[in-house]
Chain A
Amino acid sequence: MAASTGISDGYPNEPTQKPEKETSAGMEPSFRVDTIQGSSKSKSSIEKVMSVIFTVCGLSAVVAVFGIAAYMVIAGTPAIREIGIAEFLFGTQWRPTAEDPSFGILYIILTSVVGTGLSVLLGVPVALMTAVFLAELAPKRLYQLVRPAVELLAGIPSVIYGLLGSILLVPLMRRMESWIFAGSTTHQFTGGANLISAVLVLAIMILPTVINVSETSLRAVPREYREASLALGATQMETIFKVTMPAAKSGVITGVVLGIGRAIGEAMAIMMVSGNVVNIPLPFNSVRFLTTGIVTEMSYSSGLHRQALFSIGLVLFVFIMVINILLNTVLKKGGDANGTK
């Protein structure tokens, strides 16, 4: 194919001189190689330039991560220092535009934690079962139907989830709310945009992430495990849940953690369904997440208020970094040992 033509184009018939012992493992091409094209000098300078260029490209991700981390810290710390870290993290009053402003984001953090936790509790079982179906049970026909469905679910933009949530879920919640809290005088009616709506939307959004990773790790479990289990008299389902699943544990956990990351970082979808009021995360309260807190107020904030929003961003960033480091240290190692990753 392209490979063979590439060679014959560049090197017509002539025997090459002295192909130095150069393996692909060697990172620096040896510059004494004489080739038929151009002098070895011009060749080696091109080689040098290209290897520098590729090294720079290779370091781009490193630069990006450190750049982002540095900027989040630089932009996020002034407000925390001015407000006081305890006051900022554990204060329950968020009144950024009041005469005597207070910036406490405890409820916002709690909402993100509780919302993410609930959506994982709801979404992960469904995702795991679907992964089991895809990896173990699905006949070819059904597989070809469910697999693209999962892929499509992963590709749907988050604003669309938000739109559907706000049109379909929120009215439903409003009806439920007015039924449950009929006659209540203490409840603040939210019109349906509440924690439950946000959790439901998030639960659906993490499905593809968890399904994909779990399916891959279930498939990576050696055939012999299943065969041995079946030969011992276990039924197919017992084999799946008592042998295959435990063997694929670390992959499944990785999927769940990735799902947590996705849920905690989601902004636009829950923006449209959560109601955006700083509140204790109770099911029928309008709530504000870390992400939505930034989106809501960014456009009109200024001064300390704006800096406080960057601090919220920093808190979110810390959450994400903890999840990432967890993934790359603890879980990766477990995965390597099991041979599933």
Chain B
Amino acid sequence: MAQNNSGSVSIVGNKKHAYDVLTKACVYFCSTLTVAILLAMLIYIVIRGLPQINWTFLSSQPSSLKGIYGILPSIINTLYIIVITLLIATPIGVGAAIYLNEYTGNSQKFRPVVRFIEFTVETLSGIPSIIYGLFGAIFFGERLHLGYSILTGSLTLTIMVLPVVIRTTQEALKTVPQSFREGALGCGATKWYMIRTIILPSAQSGIITSVILAIGRIVGESAALIFTAGATTNLPKNWLTHPTTSGATLTVQMYFGVSNGKYVDEGFGIALVLMVIVLGINLLTKKLSSMKKSDR
């Protein structure tokens, strides 16, 4: 762009050139550093993790008696927690977004209410997971007598992913053209009918994105689950009552395995599995958002 030719006659002189080169070098160095850190982490995880991955690792439950280490129970627990959490969090989150965008949207009367709710949503997303863990343990675990169980963990995570769902859905609702609403209402549709048949289908991909983001958050969570869902790694005996028993997710199993120093290599195996999931989630959200763009 506006590069100074230091050789030619210039009113600004060489000093500026040095400034440019220096800052540019700094910018490039820092961005390279960011990417290099990530690549180094990825490569190291793949190198240490790949030898651990085999069928027994993926399909058995850990047993010190037989000397096997497997992650099947924690995969199942993770799935349980994802499903239960989303079953509760998605309707509430989408409902809250609809309330914020459709029911209070433009009216002056509700402005303070909306601002306050948005403030609390932001606050929720800023609360660290360890606090959620403490709250979940005393409220769901002790007060509601759910103890260490997958259910306690899911309820705790429900509150944690709520802001993700609300915000992403709200963004999606904002992109639904105002003319859709006016058209529907003009045809005599009632509010709920309009939301059900026009707004929600139009915001579909945004809602799906919010669900995927929530899954990412749940898969990576550990601090909120240690005191709520516990650390047991057993295969479910009864699929229906399994949520009332304690169960470790992948991250929790990995944490306990690594922190007592026994299963560091296996930890890298789990890390690799987690990285694959995270990568998949990132690609999926990217795909969805590009689809959304081509829609319009």
Q: A residues touching B (Cβ–Cβ < 8 Å)?
A: 1-3, 6-7, 9-11, 16-19, 22-27, 29, 33-37, 43, 46-47, 50-51, 53-62, 64-65, 67-68, 71-72, 75, 125-130, 132-134, 137-138, 145-146, 148-153, 155-160, 162-164, 166-168, 204, 207, 211, 230, 233-241, 258, 261-262, 264-268, 271-272, 291, 294-295, 298, 310, 313, 316-317, 320-321, 323-324, 327-328
Q: Is the CB of B259 within 8 A of A157?
A: no
Chain A nearest CB: distance from B143 CB in Å?
A: 8
Q: Is the CB of A75 within 8 A of B138?
A: yes
Chain A nearest CB: distance from B146 CB in Å?
A: 15
Residues 79-93 of B at the A interface (beta carbon under 8 Å): 91-93
B116 contact from A27, A62, A207, A327, Cβ within 8 A: A62
A327–B120 Cα distance when bound, in Å, is 12
Q: Which residues of A contact B258 (CB under 8 A)?
A: 159, 162-163, 166, 272
Q: Which residues of A contact B69 (CB under 8 A)?
A: none
Q: Is the CB of A133 within 8 A of B99?
A: no
With A54-B99, A75-B138, A130-B34 as given contacts, are A316 and B120 in contact (CB-CB < 8 Å)? no
Most B CB atoms within 10 A — which of A155, A159, A328? A159
With A47-B192, A58-B95 as given contacts, are A162 and B255 in contact (CB-CB < 8 Å)? yes
Q: Is the CB of A268 within 8 A of B11?
A: no
Since A64-B124, A137-B28, A295-B223 are in contact, a sample of 20 more A-B pairs with Cβ atoms closer than 8 Å, ordered by chain A residue number, is A10-B189, A19-B185, A22-B185, A23-B182, A35-B190, A54-B102, A58-B100, A60-B95, A65-B120, A68-B135, A72-B131, A126-B30, A133-B28, A157-B278, A158-B220, A159-B258, A167-B48, A238-B20, A264-B128, A298-B226
Chain A nearest CB: distance from B32 CB in Å?
A: 9
Task: Decide yes or no whether B287 CB sits under 8 A from chain A.
Answer: no
Chain B nearest CB: distance from A291 CB in Å?
A: 5
Q: Is the CB of A237 within 8 A of B128?
A: no
Q: Is the CB of B134 within 8 A of A72?
A: yes
Q: Is the CB of B2 within 8 A of A234?
A: yes
Interface residues as binary, B116-131 with A (CB distance below 8 Å gives 1, 0 otherwise) = 1101111110111111
Task: Decide yes or no whether B171 CB sits under 8 A from chain A.
Answer: no
Q: Is the CB of A129 within 8 A of B30?
A: yes
Task: Decide yes or no whether B68 CB sits under 8 A from chain A.
Answer: no
Chain A nearest CB: distance from B125 CB in Å?
A: 9
Task: Decide yes or no whether B245 CB sits under 8 A from chain A.
Answer: no
Q: Is the interface of A mostly helix, strand, loop or mixed?
A: helix
Q: Which residues of B contact A235 (CB under 8 A)?
A: 2-4, 12, 16-17, 19-20
Q: Is the CB of A164 within 8 A of B95?
A: no
A7–B183 Cα distance when bound, in Å, is 9
Q: Is the CB of B282 within 8 A of A151?
A: yes
A235–B20 Cα distance when bound, in Å, is 7
Q: Is the CB of B162 within 8 A of A291?
A: no
Most A CB atoms within 10 A — which of B48, B129, B182, B192? B192
Chain A nearest CB: distance from B213 CB in Å?
A: 10
A33 contact from B17, B123, B126, B190, Cβ within 8 A: B190
Minimum CB distance partner of A129 in chain B: B30
A47–B195 Cα distance when bound, in Å, is 11
Q: Is the CB of A17 within 8 A of B188?
A: yes
Most A CB atoms within 10 A — which of B117, B126, B259? B126
B197 contact from A10, A156, A264, Cβ within 8 A: A10
B216 contact from A50, A150, A155, A268, Cβ within 8 A: A155
Q: Which residues of A contact B31 (CB under 8 A)?
A: 129-130, 133-134, 138, 146
A240–B19 Cα distance when bound, in Å, is 12
A168–B119 Cα distance when bound, in Å, is 40
Q: Is the CB of A265 within 8 A of B96?
A: no
Minimum CB distance partner of B48 in chain A: A167
Chain A nearest CB: distance from B176 CB in Å?
A: 9
Minimum CB distance partner of B98 in chain A: A54
A166–B267 Cα distance when bound, in Å, is 12
Q: Is the CB of A58 within 8 A of B117?
A: yes
Most A CB atoms within 10 A — which of B31, B37, B106, B181? B31
Task: Decide yes or no whether B26 CB sits under 8 A from chain A.
Answer: yes
Q: Is the CB of B162 within 8 A of A60?
A: yes
